[in-house]
Structure 1
Amino acid sequence: MDKQPLNEKNFDKARKSYQTKPPILMNCLKAFIIGGLICVFGELLTQMYIHWFDFSEKNATNPMVATLILLAALATGFGVYDKLGQFAGAGSAVPVTGFANSITSAALEHKSEGYVLGVATNLFKLAGSVIVFGVVAAYVLGIIRYAWKLIF
Structure 2
Amino acid sequence: MVTKTRANSLEVDKANYETLVQQVKPKPKVLRNSVLAFLMGGAICALGQICISFFKAQGLATQDAVLATSMVLVFLAALLTGLGIYNEMAKYAGAGMIVPITGFANSMVAPAMEFRSEGMVFGVGARLFMIAGPVLVFGIVAAWLAGLITYLCTLG
Same fold (TM over 0.5): yes
- 1:126 Cα deviation (Å)? 2.2
Q: Residue 49 of structure 2 corresponds to which residue in structure 1?
A: 43
Deviation string 1:74-97 (CA, Å, 9 cap, x unpaired) is 111222212211110111011111
Provide the C-alpha distance between the structure 1 equivalents of 2:35 and 2:107, rounded to a whole number of angstroms: 23
Gaps of 5+ in 2: 1-8
Give distance in 2, aligned partners of 1:136 and 1:12.
Answer: 48
The 5-angstrom pairing of residues 57-72 of structure 1 reads: 57-72=62-77
> Where does residue 121 of structure 1 map in the other structure?
126
Q: CA RMSD in A?
A: 2.5
Task: Note if 1:93 corresponds to 2:98.
Answer: yes
| 1:107 partnered with 2:109 | no
Structure of greater Rg: 2
Instruction: Could you tell me which runs of 5 or more consecutive residues in structure 1 were left unpaired when the two chains were aligned.
Output: none
Which aligned runs of 4 or more in structure 1 are off by greater than 6 angstroms? none
Aligned equivalents of 2:146, 2:97: Cα separation in 1: 28
Identity among equivalent pairs (%): 38
In 2, Cα distance between equivalents of 1:51 and 1:94: 28
The residue that corresponds to 2:19 in the other structure is 13
1:80–1:25 distance in 2 versus 1, CA, 3 Å = same
TM-score, normalisation: structure 1:
0.81
- SS of 1:59's partner is helix
